[in-house]
Chain A
Amino acid sequence: MAVLRLSKPPALPAHVSYSLYRDWLLYNFYDHVCSYCIVQHESLQVEHWEPIAYAPERERDPSNFLLACPRCNRGKSDYHPAYVGRRTRKHEKHGFEVIDVRKDDLACMFDLLNSGELRPKPGTQYERALWNALLLKLDVAFVTTKRAECLRVLKVCEGLVSQGGQKAEALLKVLIPVCAKQHLLFRVFDVQVSDALQFKLNEFIATHRPAIVT
């Protein structure tokens, strides 16, 4: 299962703003990775999984927090993740549950193609995956291009690790941090990473993000 386990949230006093949990979330989502599209963004917002409108008592509950890019946050809006009554398209009878990286195995729902495109996997979750892709616009061109770029960096790093040599090592020094920042994408979608590269990535993550369970 490629679900994501978050580290223990900081113990903050009850009266502080929930935005103070942002650093903890950024740490867990490896520097600006959106929990819905799993792509890096400059500005991420603390997202209430269960909207405050439905559950005001969970406004400061860390287990209700995720990080979302403005685009995904707008897509999900105040939609209750477990409420399936809302339709997004005219011909639909009902909606589906919104994906959650903490409990849904996205690799079972989507195929990540080399082009960066996500394709819903045939099976029981097919319609839900398709519905989520449309709700959160996971298929939009600039996000697809970004995913393709991450896979390109991974492929190049794999090549450099197996080739070895002084120049390859120098280039890896620049590219490993980029690859490590996207390791969530590879983990979540079960992208195969060789043992040698995984070792290098773990080494980097252990130095920079020791508390993250990899």
Chain B
Amino acid sequence: MLQTQHKSRTYTTPKLSRCGSNGSESDISATAREAFSWSAFRPGNDPIRIRTAIDSSIDQTLRAIDAYRSPLAEKKLRGEKLTKRETNELKIWDELLGMFVEQPTSLPKEAEWALREAERLLGIK
């Protein structure tokens, strides 16, 4: 029976650059800070500072999303055909944007019902 001399090595988590990582939570946030150029500061208990901290990190996240989304959105707005992959990517960026910003007001339930009823009455699919 053929046997190799190979011995499996114990798995170690990959080291993240510039973080001296052991996979802990702080390393992940450090990587996120590095990737999105986030800066951290302690807002303490001051509500205005907390609000500013939230707003500025949302702004930075939106800017980061925008950097990936804009070229695809521009292509679409110019009327160029997007590949299936690009279409899906744009859809995902839009969904992600929807998590950070307020969505438009939805129709009241009564109006939604009336709209469906009217479409049925008029034979609109």
Q: Taking the complex as formed, is B89 at the interface, i.e. its CB lies under 8 A from any CB of chain A? A: no
Q: Given the interface contacts A89-B70, A140-B97, A168-B121, does A130 sit within 8 Å of B103 by beta carbon?
A: no
Q: State the B residues within 8 Å of A (CB).
A: 58-59, 62, 66, 70-71, 73-74, 76-79, 91, 94-95, 97-98, 101-105, 107-108, 110-111, 114-115, 117-119, 121-122, 124
Q: State the A residues within 8 Å of B (CB).
A: 32, 37, 39-43, 69-71, 74, 88-89, 119-120, 130, 133-134, 137, 139-143, 146, 149, 152-153, 155-157, 159-160, 163, 167-168, 171, 174-175, 178
Is the CB–CB distance between B78 and A160 below 8 Å? Answer: no
Main SS of chain B's interface residues? helix
Nearest to A120 among chain B residues (CB) is: B77
Is the CB–CB distance between A40 and B111 below 8 Å? Answer: no
- Choose one: A139, A141, A157, A163; the contact of B121 (CB below 8 Å): A163
Q: Given the interface contacts A156-B115, A156-B124, A174-B114, does A142 sit within 8 Å of B78 by beta carbon?
A: no
Nearest to A43 among chain B residues (CB) is: B102
Nearest to B123 among chain A residues (CB) is: A159
Is the CB–CB distance between B124 and A159 below 8 Å? Answer: yes
- Choose one: A69, A89, A152, A168; the contact of B74 (CB below 8 Å): A89
Known: A140-B97, A156-B119. 16 other contacts (CB 8 A): A41-B104, A43-B102, A71-B102, A89-B70, A89-B71, A130-B77, A134-B73, A134-B74, A137-B97, A139-B76, A153-B107, A153-B111, A160-B121, A175-B115, A178-B108, A178-B111
